[in-house]
C-alpha cells in the first residue's frame, strides 16, 4: 500500500493494512485517504472472481465476432485454390518444365514454340517464383442468384432443404432464377462442412464489459452483455452493484458507501461480498477516498519519475556523472 503525505492528508491503498497501520503510527493526526484508482482495481478483481464462479452461465452464449458486413458472402461455399488436385499437379509440372528450359538458356519465345504453348502462358510460368503463384482462387462468376443467396442460406439453416419449395418461394417474389440455379447452390450448401459454433465469451471479457462505462461498449458488446445478464440473475445483480460503486466513485458519494456495502453483503456474491467486507476494515479511509479530492496520483508520478531516472542510468551503463545525467533527464 503506497502512502502519500501532503498537507496533512494521507492517501493509502486499503488492500495492504500494514501500510495503513504504519500511517496511523507515523502520522496519527493525518487523515487517511484510500486511492480511487486502486479501489476500482479492487472491484475489478472482485467482479472477475464473481464471473468465474458463474462461468457455466456463459456456456451456449456467443461472443461478438466480425459483423456480417465484414464477412465474405461466399465464405461458406468457396475456399482457396486446391493444392492437391490434378490441376495443381499439371501447374506444378509445367512450371518446373519452363524453368528447366530457361536454366538451359532457351528464350521464352523458343520455349513457347517448342512446347506449342502460347507466349503469354510461358511468360506466366516464367514470372512465377513458385508454382503455387500460378494458381488462382476459384472465384464464382456473377450470377442472377447472387442477391438471393443470403436468403437461401438462412432458409437452409432453418431446416428448409427442398429445392422445389425454395425455388417456388423465389419465383413468387419475381426472382429471375431457374430451378437449376437453386438446385446447384443448395448442393454446395449440403456439401459444405458444418461450421463449429463460436466459443462463448471468456470470463475476462465479460469482466471488462461489466467494469467499463456503458458508453464505451460497442453495439455487439452491449447486446452480448444483455444476453449474459438475462441468462444469469446473479451477474445481473453484480452489474447493478458495479454501477452503484461507479456512481459513488465518480460523483464522490462516499457517505452512501455503508448502504452499498450492506446491499452487496446481502446478495452474497463470490468476490464482491469479500470486497465489500474488506472495505469495512478501513471504512474511514475508503469513505474519505470516495469523498475528498486527495489521491496518491502524485506519489505514483514520483515513482514513475524515479524509474525513468534509473532507466537512463542503466542506458549509460551506470558510469554517467551527475552533470551528464542531469542533461539527459532534461533532454528527455
Residues 106, 110, 115, 118: what is their CA dihedral angle, to the nearest 10 degrees?
130
Pairwise CA distance, residues 112 & 89, whole Å: 20
- What is the C-alpha radius of gyration for the chain, rounded to an integer number of angstroms? 34
Residue 44's pLDDT is what? 94
Terminal alpha carbon distance of the chain: 30
User: Nine-digit cell at 265?
Assistant: 453483503
Mean pLDDT of the chain: 81
Among 87-96, 255-264, 281-290, the least confident range: 87-96
Q: Residue 263: exposed, middle, or buried by beta-carbon count in 10 A (0-12, 13-18, 19+)? A: middle
pLDDT at residue 147 is higher than 60: yes
Give me the residues paired with residue 5 across strands. Answer: 10
User: Nine-digit cell at 326?
Assistant: 542531469
pLDDT at residue 254 is higher than 80: yes
Phi, psi dihedral angles at 198 (to 5 degrees): -65, 150
Pairwise CA distance, residues 14 & 279, whole Å: 7
Residue 130's pLDDT is what? 82
User: Nine-digit cell at 93?
Assistant: 509440372
Pairwise CA distance, residues 43 & 33, whole Å: 17
Dmax (CA) for the chain in angstroms is: 101
Tens digits of per-residue pLDDT, 103-113? Answer: 999 999 999 88
Percent of the chain with pLDDT over 90: 36
pTM for this prediction:
0.53
Residue 178: which pLDDT band, with cuts at 50, 70 and 90? very high
Residue 85: which pLDDT band, with cuts at 50, 70 and 90? low
Tens digits of per-residue pLDDT, 275-331? Answer: 999 999 889 889 988 998 877 655 655 556 777 888 888 887 767 788 888 888 888
Amino acid at each position: 500500500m503506497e502512502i502519500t503525505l501532503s498537507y496533512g492528508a494521507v492517501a493509502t491503498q486499503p488492500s495492504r493494512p500494514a501500510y495503513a497501520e504504519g500511517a496511523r503510527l507515523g502520522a496519527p493526526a493525518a487523515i487517511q485517504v484510500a486511492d480511487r484508482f486502486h479501489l476500482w482495481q479492487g472491484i475489478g478483481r472482485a467482479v472477475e472472481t464473481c464471473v468465474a464462479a458463474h462461468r457455466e452461465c456463459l456456456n451456449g452464449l456467443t461472443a461478438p465476432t466480425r459483423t456480417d458486413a465484414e464477412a465474405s458472402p461466399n465464405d461458406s461455399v468457396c475456399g482457396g485454390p486446391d493444392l492437391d488436385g490434378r490441376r495443381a499437379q499439371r501447374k506444378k509440372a509445367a512450371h518446373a518444365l519452363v524453368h528447366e528450359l530457361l536454366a538451359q538458356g532457351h528464350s521464352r519465345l523458343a520455349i513457347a514454340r517448342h512446347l506449342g504453348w502460347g507466349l503469354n502462358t510461358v511468360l506466366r510460368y516464367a514470372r512465377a517464383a513458385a508454382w503455387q503463384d500460378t494458381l488462382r482462387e476459384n472465384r464464382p462468376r456473377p450470377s442472377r442468384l447472387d442477391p438471393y443467396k443470403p436468403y437461401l442460406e438462412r432458409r437452409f439453416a432453418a431446416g428448409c432443404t427442398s429445392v422445389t419449395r425454395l425455388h417456388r418461394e423465389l419465383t413468387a417474389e419475381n426472382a429471375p432464377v431457374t430451378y437449376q440455379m437453386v438446385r446447384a447452390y443448395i448442393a454446395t450448401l449440403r456439401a459444405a462442412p458444418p461450421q463449429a459454433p463460436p466459443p462463448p465469451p471468456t470470463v475476462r471479457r465479460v469482466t471488462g464489459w461489466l467494469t467499463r462505462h456503458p458508453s464505451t461498449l460497442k453495439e455487439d458488446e452491449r447486446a452480448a452483455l444483455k444476453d449474459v445478464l438475462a441468462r444469469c440473475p446473479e451477474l445481473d445483480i453484480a452489474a447493478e452493484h458495479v454501477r452503484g460503486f461507479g456512481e459513488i466513485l465518480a460523483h464522490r458519494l462516499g457517505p452512501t458507501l455503508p448502504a452499498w456495502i450492506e446491499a452487496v453483503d446481502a446478495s452474497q456474491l463470490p468476490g464482491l461480498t469479500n470486497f465489500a467486507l474488506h472495505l469495512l476494515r478501513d471504512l474511514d479511509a475508503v469513505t474519505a477516498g470516495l469523498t475528498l479530492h486527495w489521491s496518491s496520483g502524485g506519489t505514483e508520478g514520483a515513482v514513475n519519475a524515479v524509474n525513468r531516472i534509473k532507466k537512463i542510468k542503466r542506458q549509460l551503463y551506470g558510469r554517467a556523472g551527475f552533470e551528464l545525467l542531469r542533461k539527459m533527464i532534461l533532454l528527455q
